[in-house]
Amino acid sequence: MIPFVGIDFGASKAGTTAICYLQSEWLQVVQSIKGENADQFLRQQLDIIKPEQVFIDAPLSLPGGYFQMNDDYMFRRCDRELSAMSPMFLGGLTARAMKLKAELKRCEFFETYPTALARQLEIKSYKERPPVWNDLERCLPYPLKKPSSIHGYDAVLAWLSGYRHAKSEALEFGDEHEGVIVV
């Protein structure tokens, strides 16, 4: 059993969903294939890997306005604190992530935001390759074969948020009743 995985959750058939996990003291990254269903890819991979926890780069809750917690129907507190996109703007991606969490009850889900972690760790040139490689590599506790896309890097950063969480070094933003982002 793998303790946790990091996931960059992308569009359903775009080939942009990636998973990072630790296996035999190496970080592994696998990515969905363009044209194939990313949600099925994730379910299959998670059935094989069997993680206890999932750290996913996707909203897992809606703004408090929908539950009479506040009057904001667009952003959660965590989104405002991190200048993140609204779960409402991300619409279908948010719905798919919430559904995945509801279906995979054996896993504990945590929302992450790789861009915020990259900012905190001062990973320069975050969305560019190869400069990001050296900056990211210095932050990792295990070796990693270079991912083939920026989505792989986001999955690695989501995994790193899980690693920091396991070591009680992660930061949490938001409100536990509305939504928390782990960085």
- Structure confidence at residue 167 (pLDDT): 97
Tell me the pLDDT of the chain (183 aa) as tens digits: 689 999 999 999 999 999 999 999 999 999 999 999 999 999 999 999 999 999 999 999 999 999 999 999 999 999 999 999 999 999 999 999 999 999 999 999 999 999 999 999 988 765 665 556 677 888 999 999 888 888 999 999 999 999 999 999 999 999 999 999 999
Q: What is the pLDDT of residue 133?
A: 67
What is the reported pLDDT for 129?
55
From the number of C-beta atoms within 10 Å of its C-beta (0-12, 13-18, 19+), residue 37 rates as middle
Residue 128: the pLDDT is 61
Cα–Cα nearest to 7, from 116, 183, 153: 153
- Hey, where are the domains in the chain? 4-182
Q: How many CB atoms lie within 10 A of CB 121?
A: 17
Say which CATH topology domain 4-182 has. Answer: Nucleotidyltransferase; domain 5 (3.30.420)
The pLDDT value recorded for residue 131 is 54
C-beta of residue 22 within 8 angstroms of C-beta of residue 143: no
pLDDT (0 to 100) of residue 145: 81
Do 77 and 175 contact (CB within 8 A), yes or no?
A: yes
pTM of the prediction? 0.94
pLDDT score recorded for residue 18 = 98
115, 128, 112, 130: which is closest to 183 by C-alpha?
A: 112
SS3 at position 173? strand
H-state helical runs in 20-145 = 38-49, 77-82, 91-103, 114-120, 131-137
pLDDT of the residue at 122:
87
